Chains A and B, each alone.
Chain A
Amino acid sequence: MIRKLRQATPFQITLVTVFSALAVFMSLPIVFILNHAFKPQNELFLFPPRFLVQNPTLRNFESLMLHASNATVPFTRYLFNSLIVAGFTLGAVIIVSTMAGYALAKYQFHFKQLILGMITLSLMFAPETVGIPRYLIISGLGINNTYFGHILPALASPIAVFMLIGFISQIPNDLIEAAKIDGASHVGIFTKIVLPLSVPAIATISIFTFQGVWGDVETSTLFMQEETMRTLAFYVNSLLSGLQNSVSGQNVAAAAGLLMFIPNLIIFLLFQRRVLETMVHSGIK
């Protein structure tokens, strides 16, 4: 890399500079959200508007918590629900989707074309239109007001499977054949070869699955009738919907925004290194 830097032409240097400036510009929302949440009330409405916080305060979070303590369900219950749901969904989606992706990417069998066709078609359907049939199915199964009602619908993740099919099909067949000759079982091949080699793809699907589950309001609104089973996203959303245009609620909105954003950031930081993990060092391709 140093050798490359020394050889850098003026063109490359300008390119990197412009690129960095662009990256800074792109990350402005993060900076804004972080700062906005700690602004005291008077700074939120300052003129001319300030981007950065001057006198950081935790007052906004305090009023967010106080807001919750007036309700019948404590704030921590929503948080607990969200953590449970997000954690289990993430783990289950990784396993279930990778298994399905492996079977669909590497083997020929009956119904394969049918399943593939259904997956690609389902990617396109707007989820808004299937809310009511989904509700009927969930209540038919009797899993409303349970954690299953949160987790099971998320397991049907055609996007994750679609991505894994593409990725796993790039793993050379020779490797799987070799393992078979060495006497590995189907489960063995899956856990020892397919799972480790699809880490970049798994990291990618983890990031967007977590993001989807953490921010999901639909399952809480449609499938959960008991307030104690609803998630943080639902709580924050119901808080924000009335506050968008009100002056007094802006501080709560800012704090809630940060609260919803931080876990996404943490998961992303945890997994992004895996996204960039190279397959080359393991002797693949």
Chain B
Amino acid sequence: MNTQLSPNIAKVKAKSQLRLKWNQFWREIRRDSFLYLFLAPFLICFLLFIVIPVIMAATLGFTSYDGFGSLHFIGIDNYISLFTQDIIFLTKAIPNTFLFALIVGPGGYILSFLFAWLIHQLPLRIRDYYTLAFYAPSMAGGVALSVVWIATFSGDRVGYFNNFLLEMGWINSPVIWLQDPKHLLNIMIIVSLWVSFSVGFLAMLAGLQTVNRELYEAGRIDGISSRLQEVFYITVPSMKPQMLFSAVMSIVGTLKAGGISTQLTGMPITPSYSGHLIINHIDDYAFIRFELGYASAVSVMLLLISYFAMRFAYRLFGSKEEL
């Protein structure tokens, strides 16, 4: 007898409990309705132009698709061939990207903080000029790449750098900087460091303004003696959100970098793949070979790499209550 009745009772109970929870959920949604209104314009655009396209692109990774014909679902074949057959990806794109990211990412980040901090030490009147000077390279961006850097590293003796070295007598004949596999990646790193004072740098400058000055005095009473200690114990902890933002931007920026090699050499594929980064690999497969499925699989791999880099940044600067 019991065995017949109790399941029903349990079901009814579960049902009413679910209903209660549902009602409470609705009540909370309605209480927070103004928040959803505030979020709505952003969220709608965000879903339409980022989330949905990204999901669509990620599903393409499991297919074979040339952009014109029909989709063929091929499971994880793309990923298998990525790790077993794609020699260029394994021997060129991955090592190049890691070398590039390890120097430009942390290097640019530390330089950004160092210079933002130094600018902050200057009198207010002249800060603007220094900010302008350091932000200028990233503002000039692509224009500088195609006008300034090509002129600087031009392979004949008209190139500024060759001209300088020849005049100093350090080299006897002009070096073909941009077409030589030996130099290309190094030049890319130098140029990227030059333009690395971008959004993250501005965020740090804004963040430095928010540090409470009284904290420095309090710190001095507590026995902080050097500027270095001030930076470590007061400045950095007080501007954690900006430090995190800047770290995220530099990770994203370096892993997404790829246009540089194309713009410097004028070719989508660099000489003997010397400046080939993961993004170039994606471009190669997506827009030259039209294997969109495979290109999507590669970009999913890039997403995974940056996700783990990001987790690391969060561990360094993130705090649960703030984000």
A186: chain B residues at CB < 8 Å are 34, 38
A118 touches B143 (CB 8 A): no
A123 touches B144 (CB 8 A): no
From A124, A260, A276, B255 is in contact (CB under 8 Å) with: A124
> In residues 307-323 of chain B, which contact A (Cβ within 8 Å)?
307, 310, 322-323
Residue of A47, A121, A126 most packed against chain B (CB within 10 A): A126
Tell me whether A134 is interfacial, beta carbon within 8 Å. yes
Tell me whether B67 is interfacial, beta carbon within 8 Å. yes
A133 touches B212 (CB 8 A): no
Residue of B135, B158, B302 most packed against chain A (CB within 10 A): B135
> In residues 284-323 of chain B, which contact A (Cβ within 8 Å)?
286, 292, 295-296, 299, 302-303, 306-307, 310, 322-323
Tell me whether B8 is interfacial, beta carbon within 8 Å. no
B67: chain A residues at CB < 8 Å are 132
B111 to chain A minimum Cβ distance, whole angstroms, is: 10
A48 touches B136 (CB 8 A): no
A109 touches B42 (CB 8 A): no
B282: chain A residues at CB < 8 Å are 126, 128-129
Interface of B is mostly: helix
Tell me whether B74 is interfacial, beta carbon within 8 Å. no
- Chain B residue with Cβ nearest A15: B118
B266: chain A residues at CB < 8 Å are 244-245
B128 touches A133 (CB 8 A): no
A107 touches B32 (CB 8 A): yes
B283 touches A201 (CB 8 A): no
A163: chain B residues at CB < 8 Å are 199, 203, 245
B54 touches A130 (CB 8 A): yes
A204 touches B202 (CB 8 A): yes
Tell me whether B90 is interfacial, beta carbon within 8 Å. no
A260 to B139, CA, bound (A): 10
Tell me whether B102 is interfacial, beta carbon within 8 Å. no
A240 touches B146 (CB 8 A): yes
- A32-B148, A126-B282 known; A167 vs B206 contact (CB < 8 Å): yes
Tell me whether B133 is interfacial, beta carbon within 8 Å. yes
Tell me whether A88 is interfacial, beta carbon within 8 Å. no
A275 touches B199 (CB 8 A): no
B286 touches A129 (CB 8 A): yes
From A107, A156, A200, B48 is in contact (CB under 8 Å) with: A156
A169: chain B residues at CB < 8 Å are 241, 322-323
A170: chain B residues at CB < 8 Å are 210, 241
A199 to chain B minimum Cβ distance, whole angstroms, is: 9
B151: chain A residues at CB < 8 Å are 32, 36, 49
A133 touches B57 (CB 8 A): yes
Tell me whether B106 is interfacial, beta carbon within 8 Å. no
**Residues of A in contact, count (CB < 8 Å):** 96
A275 to B123, CA, bound (A): 15
From B123, B194, B203, A1 is in contact (CB under 8 Å) with: B123
Stretch at the interface among A62-70, A72-80, A92-100: A92-100
A115 touches B303 (CB 8 A): no
Tell me whether B244 is interfacial, beta carbon within 8 Å. yes
A15: chain B residues at CB < 8 Å are 118
- Chain B residue with Cβ nearest A244: B266
A115 to B137, CA, bound (A): 34
A77 to chain B minimum Cβ distance, whole angstroms, is: 22
Tell me whether B140 is interfacial, beta carbon within 8 Å. yes
> In residues 177-200 of chain A, which contact B (Cβ within 8 Å)?
186, 190, 200
B194 touches A36 (CB 8 A): no
B135: chain A residues at CB < 8 Å are 268, 272
Mask, A14-57, CB within 8 Å of B = 1, is: 01100110011011111011001000000001011101000000
Mask, B81-124, CB within 8 Å of A = 1, is: 00000000000000000000000000000000001001000111
- A169-B322, A204-B203, A277-B209 known; A128 vs B147 contact (CB < 8 Å): no
A169 to B320, CA, bound (A): 12
Mask, A150-175, CB within 8 Å of B = 1, is: 00110110110111011101100000
Tell me whether A285 is interfacial, beta carbon within 8 Å. yes
B207: chain A residues at CB < 8 Å are 167
From A24, A116, A190, B133 is in contact (CB under 8 Å) with: A24
A276 touches B209 (CB 8 A): yes
A162 touches B49 (CB 8 A): no
**4 A-B pairs with the lowest CB-CB distances in the bound complex, closest first:** A166-B241, A133-B53, A100-B42, A23-B133
User: Mind listing 13 A-B residue pairs with CB under 8 Å?
Assistant: A23-B129, A96-B42, A107-B32, A121-B307, A132-B67, A133-B52, A152-B48, A152-B49, A166-B244, A268-B135, A273-B128, A275-B131, A276-B206
Given A133-B56, A204-B202, 8 more contacts at CB 8 Å?
A33-B143, A109-B28, A124-B307, A129-B299, A156-B42, A161-B42, A201-B206, A208-B202
Point out residues on B near A: beta carbons under 8 Å.
25, 28-29, 32, 34-36, 38-39, 41-43, 45-46, 48-54, 56-57, 67, 115, 118, 122-124, 127-137, 139-144, 146-148, 150-151, 157-160, 163, 167, 194, 197-199, 202-203, 205-207, 209-210, 212-213, 241-242, 244-245, 248-249, 251-252, 255-256, 266, 279, 282-283, 286, 292, 295-296, 299, 302-303, 306-307, 310, 322-323
